[in-house]
Amino acid sequence: YMTWSVATLNKNVHKARQLNVPYICVLVDGNNMFWAIFQPYVWRILDRLPFQWSSYPDFIRYSRRGWEYIDGSSTHVHLGPVWALITPVAVYLQFADPDAINAIFTRRSDFVRPTKEYKLLEVYGPCVSTAGDDWARHRRVLAAPFNESIMEFVWNESLRQAGSMLRYWSLAGESGVPSMQRDTRTLSLNVLASAAFRKSYPFHGSNNPRIDEASNYRDSLQTILDNIVPLMLIPYRFLTSPLIPHRWAKVGKAAVSFKEHMAEMLENETKALKDGMPGSGGIMTAFARALKTHSEETNSSKPSTRIFKKGLSVDEIFGDVFVINFAGHDTTAVTLAFTMLLLAANPPVQEWISEEISAVTKDIPTEEWDYKSLFPALNRTRAVLLETLRVYPPIMGLPKWTSQKAQTISVSGRTFTIPPGVSAVICLKAIQSHPDYWVDPYAWKPSRWISQTNSVSASSTRVDQHHERLLSPKSNTYFPWSDGPQKCPGKKFAEVEAVAVLACLFRQHRIFVKKMTNESDEAAQRRAIACTNNVTLEALLKMANADKVTLICNQV
Ligand code: HEM
């Protein structure tokens, strides 16, 4: 294995030298399954030694999963807008140049998604992430339900869920919220599950989760997402065998039950459409329409080559429904969790958004908050989300590759010809924290997103809605939701949800870090910030120990 590694590493170094870019070598590829499992233990030991990550040799530093977060933009500042990370398996060109990134996003058929790396997402069937050449057919159907009608539903449902979470947090009193991270996950899952067919689910706080793995669509989905890694590795039908230990059998049962719930919902929606009714208007309605088109095509006498050109099959619908849930759940939940700790550590920012929320919502009761007029006016609140995603993007790098043909690309005036089969990684975290494009790039400062059209400064607490605008960052320097044709279809969904939750929470309440014995306010806030910087990269960037910091929620 070592001989093979050294030989292939050498071959890849040769490839990178021809490209004439700076490079860094590591001895194990990040996608190596064995290393992916063992490296957290190795780093747990190395972290106890009195050395910083930055003081290790390159081949150790860059083999840490999630190195992108600790590194930020420093390797790009040091080596330039493009450099190569070389492993025995591949050459990964790392891009943090606005024009090059824009070119990679827009030239979708030149720089393609490595669908093999996404194969694990096919828990229920072929899906948008693995569709390759057939991606546009999936995307057309999948993007259809993300319209303004569903956004209004998401707004109302998020307010409802946030109201329940707030009551639960307030009741916790001075003993603090048992698990803020679990609660933000529950909230985000409830909103997502309810959007499938516009059915609300009750919010249960973390000390009383009341999950019945298979009883309904929402609970089976939660069990699946909580056990997603084994479900991606082992087909769920193997987990239902009588010989499987009880803990795993429960997961298998939830996976089967989730499929049954999807089938039932799809059937109900299809029947409603057949009867000339509009259906629930949720995400599933769009899929029922796609199934109808698909069955009409498959039943038609058209040549078989045209059969799968439109609509989606039942398995593809199940595959895509699963991907929407997988892609939409933790991304929003982890972002909300980071936001809560950052706000708790920054009381002046809580005051700043609260001023805006009061000015915009006046004395209208929360149940009557109108999506169309209020959401666009909550600029400071949205700035908090945008800034959290700038510093803590859940997805730090987007992999693309050159597939069968060589591609040319221009980076800061130099033209590179990238051979076939080379990976081109869009470094979101690096470009979003690059000092050439962001002032004080590592600081979390939501006010940087607000521009004033009069003389009042952005940090002023005076809200003059007519003079505050959300600032657009320098072009092609901010992509937490990706960009180009394959950008996230759930961007507005996540924005509406997060803004509704923050507005509901901070209108009359504030959150604080629960202090330890003899700890000062400042020390407690520093502890919360340290917690947001102690991250792990599983599928997404997450806090390693979010629940080590307890939050207290008080009405003001
Ligand atoms: C803060 C929240 C979110 C972030 C940061 C985020 C980020 C992203 C990114 C970076 C991608 C591109 C992935 C790639 O090309 O490999 C993506 C794709 C996707 N996202 Fe999101 N997302 C968020 C919320 C959501 C929500 C709420 C939903 C659905 C309700 C959703 C559904 C999807 C889907 C279905 C795709 C695949 C699109 C395709 O392949 O055409 N996302 N997201």
Residue 303: how many CA atoms within 13 Å on its side-chain side?
Answer: 1
Domains in the chain with CATH codes: 2-124+396-432 (3.30.43.20), 142-294+314-395+439-472+480-555 (1.10.630.10)
From atom 11 of ligand 1, which residue's Cα is the shortest distance away? 488
The tens digit of pLDDT for each residue in 394-433 reads 999 999 999 889 999 999 999 999 999 899 999 999 999 9
Looking from the CA of residue 498, the nearest atom of ligand 1 is 1
Q: What pLDDT, on the 0 to 100 scale, is given for residue 284?
A: 94
Q: Which residues contact 246 (CB under 8 A, 6 or more apart)?
A: none
Q: Give the mutation target among 117, 331, 398 for probing the ligand 1 site: most ligand atoms within 8 A of CB.
A: 331
From atom 19 of ligand 1, which residue's Cα is the shortest distance away? 488
Q: 């591949």: which residue's tokens? A: 90
From atom 38 of ligand 1, which residue's Cα is the shortest distance away? 488
Q: 255: CA distance to ligand 1 center in Å?
A: 22
Q: Which residues contact 508 (CB under 8 A, 6 or more apart)?
A: 555, 556
* Alpha carbon distances (Å) from 479 to 166, 483, 511: 31, 6, 29
Question: If we measure between CA atoms, which residue out of 110, 56, 67, 129 comes closest to residue 397?
Answer: 67
- How far apart CA 411 and CA 425 sit, in angstroms, is 14
Tens digit of pLDDT per residue, the chain (556 long)?
A: 889 999 999 999 999 999 999 999 999 998 888 888 888 888 889 988 998 888 899 988 999 989 999 999 999 999 999 999 999 999 999 999 999 999 999 999 999 999 988 999 999 999 999 998 889 999 999 999 999 999 999 999 999 999 999 999 999 999 999 999 999 999 999 999 999 989 999 999 988 777 766 678 999 999 999 898 889 888 898 888 888 888 889 999 999 999 999 999 999 999 999 999 989 999 999 999 998 776 666 665 554 444 456 789 999 999 999 999 999 999 999 999 999 999 999 999 999 999 999 999 999 999 999 999 999 999 999 999 999 999 999 999 999 999 889 999 999 999 999 999 899 999 999 999 999 999 999 999 999 999 977 655 555 545 565 679 999 999 999 999 999 999 999 999 999 999 999 999 999 999 999 999 999 999 999 999 999 999 998 889 999 999 899 999 999 9
Strand partners, 415: 410
The tens digit of pLDDT for each residue in 56-88 reads 999 889 999 899 999 999 999 999 999 999 999
Query: Assign residue 400 a region: left if phi > 0, alpha if psi is -120 to 50, beta otherwise?
Result: beta
Answer whether 104's CB lies under 8 Å from 97's CB.
no
Q: 């569709």: which residue's tokens? A: 131
Q: Record the pTM.
A: 0.93
From atom 24 of ligand 1, which residue's Cα is the shortest distance away? 328
**Residue numbers belonging to the annotated binding site for heme:** 488
* Alpha carbon distances (Å) from 337 to 144, 186, 240, 248, 392: 29, 11, 34, 28, 11
